[in-house]
Amino acid sequence: MIWTMPAETAAQERIWMNFPRAWAGYDESEAERDAARRVWTEVAHAIAEFEPVTMIVDPTEAARARAMLGTGIDQVGRVIDDYWLRDSGPTFVHAADGSLAAVDWIFNAWGGNITTGYQNDRGLAAFIAGLVGVPVIPSLLVNEGGGIHVDGEGTVLLTETVQLGQGRNPHADAARVEAEMARTLGTRKAIWLKRGLTRDYDGHGTLGHVDILACFPSPGRVLIHDQRDPSHPNHAVTAEIREVLSGATDARGRKLEIIDVPAPATLRDAEGFVDYSYINHLVVNGGVIACGFGEDYADAQAAEILAAAYPGRRVVTVDAREIFARGGGIHCITQQQPKVRGQVGA
């Protein structure tokens, strides 16, 4: 069977999310936990302006989720361990006939970097596939949805410290990872970035997910995070990203057009250097849900760049600082389900 992961700009059926619950990976007060619930809810309602949203809700949060989400967001009850559905949920792909299937990566809490349980989340991809009514493609690769990004034409972005890093796939080399990406996603060319953003290596990080570094708005073009302040350690990371991508070609042999997306001016929070990045946005039908960081100029500049990169889509900015404080962004808490190819709008 031949599987192909479509570009994130392909027509979508819905977006999947997890509602925040108390979890071992983050020690927070009830007020902090409520802040997470509010921003997850805001993101869900922003998406719902464009397409349906289904929220997986742990039984401990069922009543609160009903009250906060209202009737406009579909809700499904299930025990979950964390709230980063991009990583613990399925990656949807198309079969040759246009039907859908769901890749079920092995999930081990980001290489064991985050001290949260994951036994319930290991079954989440298959659970969602069952709700959708699509077959599961099992994989022996430890991987997460935020650790890959495809152009829909055979190219995948990966990070050496994720798929090849400590704690995930100790017996795999680049060739074996690329072969598994080809089998499950239909990719023919992998572009390996050397590392992720600096804070992604702390106790709440993914150890280098690509979806905060770079992404394809369309084939042959790549948006990259651009930290321009040399005092920030991500300034050096940006230089490495640009060097790799400037010398790379995609699966069709094209040189990549690089589009810089400047980081906001904020360099630090109470925990240290921030990884605030506009790359971690979500593309939806007719829109883009963008991260905001409370900076009028930088947020507006990023929205303008994204609007130009995704012509015909309306950019909606949601303040994502509460999400980033927990180790990710809007892309990290969402997962797109593409339409069956051949459907109206697909």
* 28 — pLDDT class (breaks 50, 70, 90): confident
Specify whether the CB–CB gap between 323 and 37 falls below 8 A. Answer: no
From the CB of residue 248, how many other CB atoms can be counted at a distance below 10 Å?
A: 19
Angle at 204 between CA 147 and CA 115, to 5 degrees: 100
Tell me, yes or no, if 332 is annotated catalytic: yes
List pLDDT tens digits, range 317-339. 999 999 999 999 999 999 999 99
Mean pLDDT along residues 224-251: 98
List pLDDT tens digits, range 57-110. 999 999 999 999 999 999 999 999 989 999 999 999 999 999 999 999 999 999
Checking DSSP bridges between strand 268-269 and strand 272-273, what pairing results, if any?
A: antiparallel
Between CA 315 and CA 310 the distance in angstroms is 9
pTM above 0.95, yes or no: yes
List pLDDT tens digits, range 279-307. 999 999 999 999 999 999 999 999 999 99
Mean pLDDT along residues 107-123: 89
Active-site position among 80, 141, 332, 333: 332
Angle at 42 between CA 151 and CA 34, to 5 degrees: 120
C-alpha 343 chain-centroid distance: 25
- What the chain holds in terms of domains, given with CATH numbers, is 3-338 (3.75.10.10)
Say which range, 40-54, 112-126, 177-191, has the weakest mean pLDDT: 112-126
The pLDDT value given to residue 179? 98
The set of residues, in sequence order, having a beta carbon less than 8 Å from that of 306 and lying 6+ positions away, is: 217, 223, 261, 278, 281, 288, 290, 315
